[in-house]
Amino acid sequence: MQYKNSKNGYGLVSRFLHWGMATAIFGMFGLGVWMRTLDYYSPYYKQAPDLHKSIGLVLLALLIGRFIWRLVNTAPDDGYLRPIERKASHILHLAFCALLAVLMGVGFLISTVDGRGIEVFGLFEIPSVYTQKGLEDAVGFIHAWLAYLLMAFAALHALAALKHHFIDRDVTLLRMLRGDPKKLTQP
């Protein structure tokens, strides 16, 4: 089992971070959309946002971990891509990371601008760092639109991976699904 990346594919840690975060982000989007339909009398009115905030902070920690992992670990060779695809891939990944960081930061502000901290799964509290009452709605509006933009980026990312797999018939998707495709074909 290969934990680190190689020049031919992604290791187990990178793949776990990618697919785990992707699953959680899509779940968070669904949870966020559903939360906006809840009224004050719903039994989930408080529980759903608390869960959303806790998962969001875990995702922030994973994003930081993913960034550090990327710095200390080799990136698989993408020399088989056309130069424009390689450039677009790098730009999209940087935009993804930046968008996630801003989305999470804005989400943190929504919850803390009134001066209250965020309890993480009831285990500990992250304190508020900025207080400005009355900004919750404006920051919430920005958070919602950033979430929709993130889903658009995710769709573009998925379409590009499918294009590489089915049209170009290259190893781009296989490297993220199974690691090093060359090791899979050897006896």
Q: What is the mean pLDDT of residues 124-151?
A: 92
**What mean pLDDT is reported for the chain?**
93
Q: What is the mean pLDDT of residues 159-178?
A: 94
Number of domains in the chain: 1
Is 174 part of any domain? yes
Q: What is the mean pLDDT of residues 142-164?
A: 96
The pLDDT of residue 187: 40
33: tokens are 């959309």
CATH code of the domain in which 121 resides: 1.20.950
Is 146 part of any domain? yes
Q: What is the mean pLDDT of residues 55-70?
A: 96
Is 2 part of any domain? no
The pLDDT of residue 133: 80
pTM: 0.91
Is 187 part of any domain? no
Domain span at residue 129 reads 12-179
Is 4 part of any domain? no
Q: What is the mean pLDDT of residues 137-147?
A: 95
Q: Which residues, at least 6 apart from 47, have a Cβ–Cβ distance to it below 8 Å?
A: none
Confidence tier at 131 by pLDDT (50, 70, 90):
confident
First CA to last CA distance, the chain = 15
Is 16 part of any domain? yes
Is 42 part of any domain? yes
Is 76 part of any domain? yes
Per-residue DSSP letter, 43: T
Instruction: Please state, in angstroms and rounded to a whole number, the distance separating the CA atoms of residues 173 and 160.
Output: 9
pLDDT in tens, 74-117: 999 999 999 999 999 999 999 999 999 999 999 999 999 888 99
